[in-house]
Structure 1
Amino acid sequence: MTPLVDTHQHLVYREVAGYGWTAGIPALADKEFPLEKYRELAGEPSVAATIFMETGVDDEDYQAEARFVAGLAGQPSSRMVGLIASCRPETDEGYEAWLDECADLNVVGYRRILHVMPDDLSQSETFRRNIREIGRRDLVFDMCFLSSQLPIAVELAKAADNTRLVLNHCGVPDIAGGGLDPWRAQMAELAALPNVNCKLSGLLAYCVPGEASLEAIRPYVDHVLETFGADRIVWGSDWPVVDMANGLPDWLTVTGAILDGLSEDEAARIARDNAVRIYKVDP
């Protein structure tokens, strides 16, 4: 398998930030997920490089998280080639100052988690203008919507057509509930927009508990491959959230099986080349 660039590596350092969203999730609650543990599970040669993804820390801690992880990324052994930092596009207060600071933190993109927020948060002109500012700076915005919110994702993508967008977790389909439709049509609508890319990540965690497998996610993977094509898909581990399924080693095995079904060139694009191009990193 082509060595992967992981575009969705979370880390959990509870002395640095609060992670209130993990409460009540046995696989995650009250646990540490440091860089050393990730490297032990991922290892070489499976994962050649990583891009840290903000971990949905408590609101007051999102800037502290990025500053701390930037320090980790500065260590040559980290294999981190960039950060996706949290931001608050819904307000102008401090927004551009944060983007300015992030230029010194090796930030290659931003995310505002939207699947736990009111639907209208991303529909304001302030939010959309501030996403366009990310594009003006030639950086990426990762979109995190539930499948029920994909029409809103389409609206945002059209309103910020100057910005490279990456849809997290294949649009969070309801795999446990067999929710192929209307997800399929909505994903095709997003794929028709040239500024939207798709992240192959998270799917196993959406399966029926105890039934996460390649067979369970295959219809969703195949549809993403068909609609976005090998040129607009990147890979992510979603570690440690992947522990809600069968863990990172299993997801690496499943990923290998998916990529083995493609041509060598297609597999290399999804595993590595698209991430390098879209996030403009050098692994």
Structure 2
Amino acid sequence: MGNRIDSHQHFWKFDPVRDSWIDETMAVIQRDFLPEDLQPLLKENHFEGCVAVQASQSEDETHFLLDLASKNDFIKGVVGWIDLRSENVEERLQFFSNQKKLKGFRHVVQGEPDDFMFGTEFRRGIQALKTFDYTYDVLIFERQLPAAISLVKDFPNQRFVIDHIAKPDIKSGSINSWKKGIEEIAKFDNVWCKISGMVTEADWENWKPQDLKPYLDIIFENFSTDKLMYGSDWPVLNVASDYKEVVKTLEDYISKFSIEDQNKIWFENAISFYNLSD
């Protein structure tokens, strides 16, 4: 598979109750976003495919994304949701295990108490993922990095990817405690990181590429180009930017890298992390 892969985007049929996180400040994304909306953007920016990631916490969401993936070839993989804390987690994983395009799972931990990832039930669920060779997407705020470090350390055989570079407060420019957490978590061989979701942590109205640069510098210093992958976080990015601008920001940043390293970031790492070539 040549060509770029967007390792992180979402689809939804907008539901104001279920999607209450999309508040009035995000009015621009209070509508449906479906494959026919994304496909032209992918094409225009030289992307061959994408990975659709859960946005709501239900098995219905997993079925919804798998259904879209079955009808759209360019959706190469799905990161779904199951209740990892459930007693029958193995049974649910077994149920989904015949779904070729289902590559991993995610829980919206950023909305949970800071000690959530220490929970026994949650950890039992993480343990079960390995049996089926599923990945786990770590969605956290910067303050939850210590819990994430403990998690990845205790499950050395589980593949983890950090979404949105662990959401540092780019808008305020604070960087030091986030930097310490990134330096620590990047030491683990089982951890990858998505270059995604940065513009929405910056000042939506006024961000510039140089606001992101110090954060990108730290990500690239700590994660090798073997461990980083591009994700747009479309359509959430629309509150602060547009698809093309987000792509261009990373293109400019890595323009001096070798073609080999650029290819790793644009598609090779996503393909190997999520087994997208199956």
TM range (shorter): over 0.9
TM-score (norm 2): 0.93
Provide the residue aligned with 1:123 in structure 2: 118
Picking from 45, 48, 62, the partner of 1:66 is 62
CA distance, structure 2, for counterparts of residue 278 and residue 185 of structure 1? 25
The list of structure 1 runs, each at least 4 consecutive aligned residues, that deviate by more than 2 angstroms after superposition, is: 23-30
More displaced 10-residue stretch of structure 1: 79-88 or 123-132: 123-132
Unaligned runs of 5+ in 1: none
Structure 1 vs Structure 2: percent identity of aligned residues?
A: 25
Q: Tell me the secondary structure at the aligned position of residue 197 of structure 1.
A: strand
Q: Which amino acid aligns with 1:51?
A: V
CA distance in 2, matches of 1:89, 1:233: 26
Deviation string for 1:91-133 (max 9, x for gaps)? 32x3222212222332101001111101222102221121121
Report the CA distance between 1:146 and its aligned residue.
Answer: 0.3
The separation in 2 between residues aligned to 1:253 and 1:45, in whole angstroms, is 9
Letter in 1 for 2:38: Y
- Structure 2 distance, partners of 1:159, 1:217, is 31
Which digits, 9 at most, give the CA deviation of each residue in 1:187-213, with x for residues without a partner? 010001111111100001111132222
User: 1:87 Cα deviation (Å)?
Assistant: 2.4
Alignment of 1:89-238 (within 5 A): 89-92=84-87, 94-105=88-99, 106-238=101-233
The answer on 1:276 being equivalent to 2:253 is no
RMSD between aligned residues: 1.8
Q: Secondary structure at the match of 1:234?
A: strand
1:53 alignment partner in structure 2: 53
Alignment-mate amino acid for residue 129 of structure 1:
R
Normalised by the length of structure 1, the TM-score is 0.91
* Count of aligned residue pairs for this structure pair: 275
Q: Which amino acid aligns with 1:98?
A: R
Kept in 2, the 8 Å contact 1:82–1:281? The answer is yes
- For residue 107 of structure 2, what is the amino acid of its counterpart? R
Is there any run of 5+ residues in structure 2 with no aligned partner, and where? none
> Any conservation in 2 of the 1:28–1:240 contact (CA below 8 Å)?
no
